[in-house]
Amino acid sequence: MTTTVPHPRPKELRDFYEDPSVPVASGAPRSLRQARMLAAALGTARGQTVLDVGCGDGSAAETARPLLAGHRIVGVDWSQDALKRARTRLSYAVRGELTGGGLPFRSASADAVLFSEVIEHLVDPDAALDEIRRVLRPGGHLMLSTPNLAAWYNRGLLLAGVQPVFSEVSLRGIHGRPGTEVVGHLRLYTARALREFVAASGFEVVRLAGAPFHGVPRPLRPLDRLACSRPSLASILLLHAQKT
């Protein structure tokens, strides 16, 4: 008689993101640029509510806080481990998710949503933007950032037959691309695709900018900063849109 040993089940996505070793911060340069865009959008008014959806460890909101003085920043994440760390940096951090039960906020109750390096991790980004649109007031601001599939170095890597940076084929290891960390990216966008996707979700795109990536090797960082002047080539895409 032959005994078959069950093959271990693949790690569930939720288990993956609850792992404390999975990075939940994406670097201060991106956070600062995004915060400056949001501060300019909010103008001189004070007391507005900013939701940092997918706040991770709260480091992005902490970086943005000096530029958003007078506003209420609320961190939102479904990872209990991330929230535990976020609460050391933010006065308000609550559990919520973009699918299933949705965000724990009334419709049209937020003035702005920070959505930083989250959309590339989602199975259903359409439902996520629907939920963000629900909680934003009319004219409310969406500040979204995500890695750029068509970053300047990815174009060269593809020509050489190498898997682009930011793209992943496994949750268990790095295969065929530069880098050492598995971070769980499921979807990637070019500048054009991101614009079209956000506009199709009921937002008016106001501005698209670029930001550098903290993981670029030091000798190449001046080139990476230079590429920010052309968002379609930049490492990170920063998009500002308003609810229509």
Q: 13-39: per-residue pLDDT in tens? A: 666 666 656 655 556 888 999 999 999
Q: Indicate the SS3 state at residue 95.
A: strand
- Say how far apart CA 209 and CA 229 lie, in whole Å: 8
Q: For residue 4, is pLDDT > 90?
A: no
Which amino acid is residue 111, in one-letter code? D
Query: Looking at residue 28, what is its pLDDT?
Result: 81
CA-based torsion, 79, 82, 85, 89: positive or negative: negative
Per-residue pLDDT of 128-165, as tens digits, reads: 999 999 999 999 999 999 999 999 999 999 999 999 99
pLDDT score, position 101: 80
Per-residue pLDDT at 217? 94
φ/ψ (deg, to 5) at 84: -60, -40
Q: Identify the sign of the CA torsion 145, 147, 153, 156.
A: negative
Strand partners, 76: 53, 94
Whether the predicted model's global pTM rises above the 0.75 cut: yes
Exposed, middle or buried: residue 175 (CB in 10 Å: 0-12, 13-18, 19+)? exposed
What average pLDDT does range 196-211 have in this prediction?
Answer: 98
For residue 78, how many other CB atoms are within 10 A of its CB? 17
Residue 3 has pLDDT above 80, yes or no: no
Q: Measured in whole angstroms, how far is the alpha carbon of residue 155 from the centre of its chain? A: 22
Give me the mean pLDDT over the 167-184 stretch: 92
Q: How many CB atoms lie within 10 A of CB 211?
A: 26
Highest mean pLDDT pick, 81-85, 130-134, 180-184: 130-134
- H/E element, 177: none
Could you read off the pLDDT of 44-54 as tens digits, one per residue? 889 999 999 99
Measured in Å, how far apart are the chain's first and last C-alpha atoms?
A: 66
